[in-house]
């Protein structure tokens, strides 16, 4: 997925032209150019050039309702286009529409890049209340967004720049509203499974699903070697209107409180989560596991599931650590990294850190928040790859049990979740 546009040419070496295009054609052009990482003016230039090179005009395009459309073209191209349109006895509006349609026809939407090995992201921290569930949901939603629709994304925003900006606004004003830091980009369009691996069922409840009943089947049963059916039958789809059937959830069950006890009697228990989820992997590009705040066997199984597999590139799967900009998160971080490092040594496996996401950040908390954020930024390995503000939209989305990115798709938090998703990609 292209993460940014090519550099726009300055208008000084091009000439501005104004014509008309129907709204639907302009929207298709806007999306397709973004999918190919091109400026709109470059796509129009290529389309006009190709149209002028044809032996004759192409099929007529419906231009009803066309309204003003301006772009910048290389000097002389518009004059050549005008002459060609006159020779072909078509209006400039019709010629431009044919040129744009020709470019669309010869530049189809790129195929979505699907990983050869399903990517497994383990969202974790030993401390509760840091917002692991919100990050799990927001990341999954951002990865599943439609590739034929543009979404506002914060791009190439250095976190140290964000830190300095926030320190310069101690009154809590949000400096992140600068539109220069936001681009409208196509969604990744990936097939995503969210796994609620926490017996408290927060992810399940926040997305409006029902926790699984204690006397039925569950992920715990499958991990303990006592399945009561096909795990696929427990999976539910999340907000198909927004995510087009690409975002699914495996709900939690309160029986996960007993998981560590049940795992103690299982052979090769570190691989229990992998054995349970393996039959589902072919259906998904990414599986994201929302882990409980635990140091027990269940966390061992989650970390092992996120290990680097044979033939998998570094950084494709692994642990995404969620923290807050306050001191107790640092203590929990030490416990988690010690546990993962022990697993690496004991089992001789590679478990990659995908990065740190600093959640619930609020510069109005003053020095504690800004100095703690700087502490996370200074770690460098793993590096901070996401900064999500403590704003009302997430709380409101939880209250109404809707995904954040469909409840408030243009909110600062949604924009930040998309930036996090592109860092993970």
The count of domains in the chain is 2
Q: Is residue 1 part of a domain?
A: no
Question: Is 215 inside a domain boundary?
Answer: yes
Indicate whether 86 pLDDT > 90: yes
Q: What is the pTM of this model?
A: 0.86
Cβ-contact 371, 156 below 8 angstroms? no
pLDDT averaged over every residue in the chain: 88
Residues 102 and 123 in one domain: no
Residue 6 maps to a domain: no
Residue after which a domain boundary falls, among 81, 106, 131: 106
Residue 142 and residue 200 share a domain: yes
CATH of the domain at 191: 3.40.50.300
* Reported confidence tier of residue 165, pLDDT bands at 50, 70, 90: low
* Angstrom distance (rounded) from CA 404 to CA 422: 17
142 lies in the same domain as 81 = no
Regarding whether 125 and 52 lie in a shared domain, the answer is no
Residue-level pLDDT at 180: 42
Please say which residue of 85, 106, 127 terminates a domain: 106
Residues 87 and 145 both lie in one domain: no
Residues 102 and 124 in one domain: no
Is 112 a domain residue? no
Both structure tokens of 215: 């006397």
DSSP of 9-76: PPGGGSEEEEEEE-HHHHHHHHHHHHHTT--HHHHHHHHHHHHHHSSS-------TT-EEEEEEE-TT
> Looking at the domain assignment, is residue 2 inside a domain?
no
State pLDDT tens for residues 266-317. Answer: 888 999 999 999 999 999 999 999 998 877 888 999 999 999 999 999 999 9
- In this structure, the answer to whether residues 269 and 188 fall within a common structural domain is yes
Residue-number span of the structural domain to which 38 is assigned: 11-106
Domain boundary among 106, 129, 151: 106
If you ran DSSP here, which 8-state letter would residue 145 be given?
S
Is residue 320 domain-resident? yes
Question: Is residue 340 predicted with pLDDT exceeding 80?
Answer: yes
Helix (H) or strand (E) segment spanning residue 202 = helix 202-206
**How high is the pLDDT of residue 216?**
92
Domain contains 4: no
């Amino acid at each position: 997925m292209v993460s940014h546009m090519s550099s726009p040419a300055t208008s000084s070496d091009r000439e501005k032209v104004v014509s008309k295009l129907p709204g639907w054609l302009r929207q298709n052009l806007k999306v397709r150019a973004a999918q190919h990482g091109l400026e709109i003016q470059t796509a129009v230039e290529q389309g006009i050039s190709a149209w002028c090179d044809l032996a004759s005009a192409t099929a007529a395009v419906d231009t009803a309702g066309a309204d003003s459309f301006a772009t910048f073209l290389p000097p002389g191209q518009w004059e050549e286009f005008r002459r060609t349109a006159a020779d072909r006895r078509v209006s400039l509006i019709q010629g431009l529409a044919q040129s744009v349609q020709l470019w669309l026809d010869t530049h189809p939407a790129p195929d979505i890049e699907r990983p050869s090995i399903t990517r497994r992201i383990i969202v974790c921290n030993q401390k509760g209340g840091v917002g692991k569930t919100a990050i799990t949901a927001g990341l999954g939603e951002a990865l599943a967004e439609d590739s034929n629709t543009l979404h506002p994304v914060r791009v190439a925003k250095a976190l140290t720049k964000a830190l300095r900006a926030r320190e310069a606004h101690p009154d809590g004003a949000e400096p992140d509203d600068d539109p220069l830091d936001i681009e409208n980009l196509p969604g990744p369009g990936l097939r995503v499974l969210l796994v609620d691996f926490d017996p408290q069922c927060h992810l399940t409840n926040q997305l409006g699903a029902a926790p699984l009943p204690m006397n039925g089947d569950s992920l715990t049963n499958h991990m303990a070697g006592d399945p009561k059916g096909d795990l696929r039958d427990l999976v539910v789809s999340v907000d198909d209107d927004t995510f087009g059937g690409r975002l699914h959830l495996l709900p939690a069950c309160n029986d996960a409180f007993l998981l560590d006890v049940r795992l103690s009697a299982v052979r090769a228990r570190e691989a229990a989560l992998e054995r349970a989820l393996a039959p589902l992997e072919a259906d998904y590009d990414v599986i994201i596991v929302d882990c409980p705040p635990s140091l027990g066997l269940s966390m061992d199984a989650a970390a092992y599931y996120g290990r680097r597999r044979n033939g998998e590139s570094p950084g494709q799967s692994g642990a995404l650590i969620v923290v807050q900009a306050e001191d107790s998160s640092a203590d929990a971080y030490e416990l988690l990294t010690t546990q993962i490092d022990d697993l690496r040594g004991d089992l001789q496996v590679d478990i990659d850190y995908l990065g740190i996401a600093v959640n619930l950040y609020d510069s109005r908390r003053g020095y504690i928040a800004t100095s703690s954020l700087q502490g996370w930024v200074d770690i460098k390995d793993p590096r901070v790859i996401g900064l999500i503000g403590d704003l009302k939209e997430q709380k409101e989305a939880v209250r109404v049990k809707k995904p954040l990115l469909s409840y408030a798709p243009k909110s600062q938090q949604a924009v930040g979740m998309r930036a996090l998703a592109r860092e993970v990609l």
